[in-house]
Amino acid sequence: MRNLYRGIRNVWRNRSRTVVVLCILALAAGLGLVMLALEEGVSSQVGAMEASVGTMIEIRPAGVYGMMSLGGLGILGRDPGTPADDPPPGLPTAMLEEIAGMPGVTTVAPYVMTIARDQATSTAGMRFARGRMVYGVAPGGDLTVLGGGQVEVVSGRGLEPGDEGMPVVVIGTAIAEREGVGLGDRLLIQDRWFRIVGLHQSALRMAGLGIFMPYDVALEVFELEGLTQIYVWADSIGRVDALRETLQGQYGEIADVVAQKDSLMGRLDEAFSSLSSASRLGLLLSLLAAGVVVFGSMYLVVRERAREIGILKAVGASPRDIVVQFGTEAIALSLAGALLGLALFVALGPAVASRVVQAAAPVPAVPRMAGEILGGSGGEALSRFGDGAFGRAFMGGGRMGMTVGTVEVALTWSLAAKAILGGLGLGLAGGLIPSLVAARLKPAEVIRRD
């Protein structure tokens, strides 16, 4: 006990040096805490993002397309001249029933996407420019286009339960205008007549060219072998991985199974990795600096008090007594530094953190990135029907960018505990060697020195 007492008391032996050392330690600890808080802030936001992007799993034919590309679309749209023994890849509709019966599945949504032959100009060169994107969806679900998110029905109605097998379509206002048709009119698609039951609109040009019809009708009319996608929702985020495994096991031969959270998080991780690695490096450097300071100052202390250590040993201190006393001094010193650092963190942490965030990840870059991921070329993979989560995910991305821009670095219990543990660890690590050196000093030699 007295060894501890003397150790703690000795921290104040050389006041000016102790003040200097404590200032350095406090700075290092404060900075380290900012880094730790940033790291925690980022990972908790990534976690929140993960939860908000939801429980969707996408199944698509194996190896056909990674992120849906326009090249991929070409395969799916079947030209009249294409030989029948060259079937386009697709997912059998039987999967819908099977998957719906799996544990933890709440919703299964079929999806077909293809391009209709242009009735007016069927030259191959003009096909895409004047093409009609056809989306086969489950009647009753949201109308969602790949690459554009949900569309809004502006007149008439959407596709409703009971439309299965019916030649009904909801078309974009852009197509209606171009082809001179309106609500209630008939429209020729692949040599079949459809009734226009609704008109939709979207800010995106691509979406405006979209024609929605029941997926079973689309499969039949376009003579497709199967669905271009199946979307599955798990009942909880915790279930997603297991469900993805199950689906992979079941359909791995014919399909790729991707959880939305994985593909999204992979991209988001890139956005955050620079911030994360910067803060980790900062934490490491500040720990290192603090360790060197503790070590150096304890080493000086031992040299300076060599004679005194000799006296302590002469009057009966065992090597263990010496180690405990000097170890305690080191721990008290670094703990005091850590507590001062904590105070510094409370005072200046938020300001420093926002500087670091700005330096490591310019604020506008994050929402832009998220927007690109969710709404741009790759965004189609994330399009989600059924419950409008696409918008939520997009908003989530935007919101996340904002919050990272002003990452909250508040003092939490866990942070305080880490500071204290860090102080203890640093004292132990930095003070160990000097204390052992002290314990090994030969009393006869150090007392002789004058």
| Among residues 9, 192, 303, 355, the one that binds other proteins under rule CB under 8 A | 9
CB of 48 to other proteins, least distance (A): 53
Closer Cβ to other proteins, 99 or 330, answer by number: 330
CB of 6 to other proteins, least distance (A): 8
SS (H, E, C) the chain: CHHHHHHHHHCCCCHHHHHHHHHHHHHHHHHHHHHHHHHHHHHHHHHHHHHHCCCEEEEEECCCCCCCCHHHHHHHCCCCCCCCCCCCCCECCHHHHHHHCCCCEEEEEEEEEEEECCCCCCCHHHHCCCCEEEEEECCCCCCEECCCEECEEEEECCCCCCCCCCCEEEEEHHHHHHHCCCCCCEEEECCEEEEEEEEEECCCHHHHCEEEEEHHHHHHHCCCCCECEEEEEECCHHHHHHHHHHHHHHHCCCEEEEEHHHHHHHHHHHHHHHHHHHHHHHHHHHHHHHHHHHHHHHHHHHHHCHHHHHHHHHCCCCHHHHHHHHHHHHHHHHHHHHHHHHHHHHHHHHHHHHHHHHHHCCCCHHHHHHHHHHHCCCHHHHCCCCCCHHHHHHHHHHHHHHHHHCCCCCCCHHHHHHHHHHHHHHHHHHHHHHHHHHHHCCHHHHHHCC
Closer Cβ to other proteins, 75 or 447, answer by number: 447
| Among residues 312, 342, 357, 382, the one that binds other proteins under rule CB under 8 A | 312
Closer Cβ to other proteins, 307 or 392, answer by number: 307
Per-residue contact flags (x/-) with other proteins for residues 315 to 354, judged by CB under 8 A:
xxxxx-x---------------------------------
Q: State yes or no: residue 303 binds other proteins (CB under 8 A).
A: no
| Among residues 130, 178, 267, 307, the one that binds other proteins under rule CB under 8 A | 307
Q: State yes or no: residue 97 binds other proteins (CB under 8 A).
A: no
| Among residues 72, 104, 131, 443, the one that binds other proteins under rule CB under 8 A | 443
Closer Cβ to other proteins, 205 or 448, answer by number: 448
Q: Which stretch binds other proteins (CB under 8 A): 49-57, 152-160, 303-311, 337-345?
A: 303-311
Per-residue contact flags (x/-) with other proteins for residues 403 to 442, judged by CB under 8 A:
---------------------------------------x
CB of 447 to other proteins, least distance (A): 7
CB of 2 to other proteins, least distance (A): 4
Q: State yes or no: residue 13 binds other proteins (CB under 8 A).
A: yes
- Interface residue list for other proteins (CB under 8 A): 2, 6, 9-10, 13, 307-308, 311-319, 321, 442-444, 447-448, 450
